[in-house]
Amino acid sequence: MSTTAQDFRPSYSPWRHGGWYVDNVRYPSGACGCVSRNFSDRKWRVVADNTCAGEPGDRTFPNRDSAAMAEMEDARRGWEIVAGLASFSQYPPETNGRDGRCILCDLRVKAGQGFIVLGSDSTGTYAAHLHPRCADTVREIQQGTRRNPYAAR
């Protein structure tokens, strides 16, 4: 059975920085979810979001469960991206000479050090940067050594 917003029940454990690990949220990288309200405005946020409090794109939530639900959806989208990439067997070296952001982990990929991949999703086909560690993750999924926890069983 796949995990949906309707049947998702977050499971928490304390995070050493005062927030909460969301134990049953897993990203393709293997990272678990983490939510916190350790901000000056005391609003709940997904810790992995790459925006600062008050900046455009800053997502806040009324409670811990709402933040965890949003993070579960973020992780699920990551797995959907991997599913699109996993259908390709070749990862050509990045040769366009431009830095970019990894489509999975959002880390900076320096020109010549990452990969350019082709993928597809419900909106069509795209080209994107992929961090070398994330390329390893996609290969593990292709080989069946890493499983999507949100896939139908």
Torsional sign, CA 139, 145, 149, 152: positive
Is pLDDT of 95 > 80? no
Listed in order, strand segments (DSSP E) in 16-131 are 20-26, 32-36, 45-46, 100-101, 108-109, 115-121, 124-130
Instruction: Write out pLDDT tens, residues 29-71.
Output: 788 999 999 988 999 999 887 777 778 778 999 999 999 999 9
> Given this model, what pLDDT does residue 104 score?
77
Helix ranges (H only) for 62-119 are 64-86
pLDDT band at 2 (very low <50, low <70, confident <90, very high): very low
